[in-house]
Structure 1
Amino acid sequence: MRARIAIIFSAPHRSLFLAGVLNFALLMIWWTATLFDIYIWPIGMASGDVPPSLLHAPVMLFLMVPSFFFGFLLIVFPRWIGFPNLGQNQYAPTGGAFIIASILAWIALIGGNHHLLAIALCVAGLGWLVALWHMIVLLIAEFRDSKGPTWHGWSASAALCFGLAGLGFSVRFLLTLDAQAYQIANSLGTFGFLLPVFLTVAHRMIPFFAGNVVKGYVAWRPFWLLALLWVFLLAHLILQLSGYNSLQFISAAALSALTATMLWRWWPRQAAPGLLMVLIWGFAWALIGFVLIALGSFAEFAGYNISLGRAPVHAIYIGMAGSLVIAMVTRVTLGHSGRPLAMSRQTWLAFWAIQLSAIARIVAGVRGEHGHWFVLAGVIWILLVTPWTLRQARIYLSKRVDGKAG
């Protein structure tokens, strides 16, 4: 047992990705079972004072997603800035916190205990604070040494601050059942946290990865683009928090134009390996999501009786976030375990399953949030993504195949 624990905490990504991939499977199993209980056949899923439909967003946004973010950022952040890797005493508390938080969350969800879920998020928040502290310390050291600034580092850190605020509002909701706190948490979690982190990492890493594997590729990642992404994400967040949903088509259209430009400039003109293409295909869901948000908002503004339901944001949650998690986590895991950088059968299966699950969820939204399509989206995820999660988990629990440390 001690040897296994030592392996889990031998590198920043191991414990955090382990928590992430287990949540990637177990939280979806819980959520699909809950949907089945609601829309298909009662199977006796526990339900407390808070409807299960209001519990899945907090655990997905503020428990599952950040464990992947921190697993990646605690590796690359010092390298972006030009400092040595973080020590085990610096990254292990965050990994430990997310593992403990995940266990508490599973117990809370199975038992329908929203107070215990609030405690789980608080534990994750403590790990979040530790990681954010070390990242900010590095940024301050960079400034003190007259280096940089590393705008990707500042961008990711700002997004993590928004995310921590969103986690706080989620805890408030779970403790007080304040509906406004729930809405604020989801808005901050989506447009202040999830999207900025993914777009920042994509802006930094996709051109870098492509330049290493595509002949004649010209990397394109201007910083004005990163700044404009922030401008329109914050504008969208402000419109949403202010209740001006019918005007969100303005910011969503701008974000559509920016992400379309990024796709056009990043798309390889020569043959490219699958591990790169899944990153680009997954990123394309951001464009789809922004376009759907713009269409739905404009329809409301113009007075058309058209509703897309929650389809637009789930194009982002499932399509973009799910695809990029598969793509980025696979790449980091292979590279940091001494394995060849190539797509396996399980990885391809998981990636295409995410595409099908996203499509099913969009159809559900277009069809008036039809519950059977919800369940189909979840079943596809469980059956086809779980093999990938199990393979990843085995890697995090094993030593590197090349005998190196980490």
Structure 2
Amino acid sequence: MRGFLAIIFAAAHRLLFLTGVLNFAFLMLWWTAALINLYILPFGMVSGAVPATFLHAPVMLYLMLPAFFFGFLLTVFPRWSGFADLQRRQYAPIGSAFFLATIIAWGALIGDNALWLVAALAIAGLGWLIALWHLAVILAAETRSDKGPTWHAWSAFTALCLGLSGLCFSAYFLLTLDGRAYLLANSIGTFGFMLPVFLTVVHRMIPFFAGNVVAGYVRWRPYWVLALVWVFLIPLMLAPIIDSAQLQFIGALALCMLTAIMLWRWWPRGDAPGLLMVLIWGFAWAPVGFGLIALGHYAGLSGFDFSPGKAPVHAIYIGMAGSLIIAMVTRVTQGHSGRPLTMNRAAWIAFWGIELSALARIVAGLRGEHGHWLVLAGIIWILLVTPWALKQARIYLARRADGKPG
């Protein structure tokens, strides 16, 4: 047991990424089963006071994604600010909280027990608070020194704080079934937490990675881009409170154009390895998703017949977020386990599986949330992405291939 704990707590990302990839596999298996039960073949799946369709977003946004985010940010955050890595005593409680929360959440989903899910979110929230404390200490130390400010760190920290507030709204919804709380939890989780973290990280990392591996590459990451991302996300995040289709249209259209500019400036003009290109291709879903959001609002404002359903946000959830998780987790896992920095076969299959799943989910939205297309999106994910997730899990449970610590 001591040897197992030494392995799983050897680095900040190990237990958190293990939690994330297990959720990457199990949550989609649960969700696909719920879709089959709902649209194709009812087989008596338990259904309680809160339908599975209202549990899908909270567990993805506040249990799966944070495990990946904290696994990455607890590793790079100190380095961004020029400080030493976090110690085991600092990151071990965080990973443990999210892993325990995940186990409880799985039981809650299988048994359709909303109170268990609230308990899972509470435990995850405790780990979240501990993580925020350690990150805040780093930012405070940077403020006292002559190093700062590291705007990427501040941007990510702001998104994590908003994410914790969204988790609280999600728990409140599960306790009260307050519809406004549900809308706020999803809106904050998407536009105040998930997207700012991803856009902050790619703004820093894509130019950095590309500059190291592409000959003649010119790094471009002005801070005004990061500022505009936040400005234009605000009306989308506050949509349940400020019901203004005009503001949401402007915000989405601006983000479509801004992310398209980012994609154009970051695209390598020379030969680039697959591990970089999957980041670029994954990010390409951002202008697509924001464009569809803008088109949906424009249709509502102008009165022409177009209803994209949930296709726009799933272009972002599955297309962008899923692709970037495959790309970045593969990179971190390969590098921190003493393996070559390349896309292996399982990673390539998973990446293209995400693309196919995203396309199927978008078709479902454009066809009025068609049940068969929803199920197809889930089945593609299970068949093509799950093997990658299990491969990553085995790596986190083993020592580094090169024998080094970490």
TM-score (norm 1): 0.99
1:245 deviates by: 3.2
Equivalent residue number for residue 76 of structure 2: 76
Matches for 1:378-397 after TM superposition, within 5 Å: 378-397=378-397
2:194 alignment partner in structure 1: 194
Aligned: 1:280 with 2:280: yes
- The residue aligned with 1:346 is 346
| Alignment partner, residue 32 of structure 1 | 32
Alpha-carbon distance in 1 for matches of 2:120, 2:94: 13
Q: Which amino acid aligns with 2:236?
A: H
Report 1:227-246 matches (<5 A): 227-245=227-245
Check conservation: 1:105, 1:117, Cα contact below 8 A.
yes
- Corresponding residue SS for 1:158: helix
Quote the Cα distance in structure 2 between the aligned partners of 1:179 and 1:247.
22
Query: What pairs with 1:46-125 in structure 2 (closer than 5 Å)?
Result: 46-125=46-125
Instruction: Provide, for residues 180-230 of structure 1, a one-character-per-residue CA deviation record: whole Å limited to 9, x for no partner.
Output: 100000000000000000000000000000011000101100001101111
Question: Is the partner of 1:33 in helix, strand or coil?
Answer: helix
**1:132 is aligned with what amino acid?**
L
User: Are 1:137 and 2:137 counterparts?
Assistant: yes
Unaligned runs of 5+ in 2: none
Paired residue type of 1:189: G
Cα distance, 1:246 vs. partner? 5.0
Asked if structure 2 preserves the Cα contact closer than 8 Å seen for 1:337 and 1:400, the reply is yes
SS in 1 for 2:368: coil
8 Å Cα contact 1:170-1:185 kept in structure 2:
yes
2 CA distance for matches of 1:240 and 1:175?
A: 19
**Shift, 1:240, TM fit:** 4.6
Note closer, same or farther for the CA distance 1:401–1:272 as it changes in structure 2 (3 Å cut). same
Post-superposition CA distance 1:36-71 (Å, at most 9, x none): 000000112111100100001000000000100000
Letter in 2 for 1:396: Y
SS in 1 for 2:4: helix
In the superposition, the TM-score normalised over structure 2's length comes to 0.99
Write the deviation string for residues 239-269 of structure 1: whole angstroms up to 9, x where unpaired: 4531223541111110011101100100000
Distance 1:207 1:234 in 2: 25
Q: CA deviation at 1:306?
A: 1.4
- Contact kept, 8 Å, 2:183 with 2:240, in 1: the verdict is no
Once the two structures are aligned, what percentage of the paired residues are identical?
69
Q: Secondary structure at the match of 1:265?
A: helix
CA distance in 2, matches of 1:259, 1:333: 27
2:235–2:247 CA contact under 8 A, matched in 1: no
1:156 aligns with 2:160: no
Gapped runs of 5+ residues in structure 1?
A: none
Matched, 1:369 2:365: no
Aligned to 1:19: 19
| Runs of 4+, deviation exceeding 6 Å | none
Q: Give the root-mean-square deviation of aligned CA atoms.
A: 0.8
Would the aligned equivalents of 1:246 and 1:300 in 2 still touch at CA under 8 Å?
no
- TM-aligned CA deviation for residue 76 of structure 1: 0.2
- The residue aligned with 1:271 is 271
Q: Report the count of equivalent residues.
A: 406
2:168 aligned partner:
168
